[in-house]
Amino acid sequence: MTKEDAEMFDFIQGQKVISKKPHPCGNSEWTVSRVGADIKLTCAACGRTVMMPRSKVEKFVKKAAE
Ligand SMILES: [Zn+2]
């Protein structure tokens, strides 16, 4: 309910993340390419991008990649 609760991750542009479910191309690694009201992720393998609200990204992402 609070702002803090909604922000499990602090997404940073250029950060690499691992998704829970792989992209249809088989890759699970994404680069955060834009951070705003919506967050844009670029697939590291095929280069396709997806935009989704932060709340959805938090469910989509499993962890930050090193
Ligand atoms: Zn892909």
CATH code for position 60: 2.40.10
- Asked if 9 contacts 64 with a C-beta cutoff of 8 angstroms, the reply is yes
Residues 6+ apart with CB under 8 A from 54: 6, 7, 11, 37, 38, 39
Nearest to 53 by CA among 32, 38, 33: 38
Question: 6 C-alpha vs ligand 1 centroid, how far in Å?
Answer: 27
Q: How many domains does the chain have?
A: 1
- The residue segments making up the domain with residue 38 are 3-64
Pairing label, strands 16-19, 29-35: antiparallel
The larger pLDDT score, comparing residue 48 to residue 5, is at: 48
User: For the chain, what is the mean pLDDT?
Assistant: 89
Question: 37 C-alpha vs ligand 1 centroid, how far in Å?
Answer: 23
Rounded to a whole number of angstroms, the CA Rg of the chain reads 11
Question: 50 C-alpha vs ligand 1 centroid, how far in Å?
Answer: 10
- The confidence score (pLDDT) of residue 8 equals 58
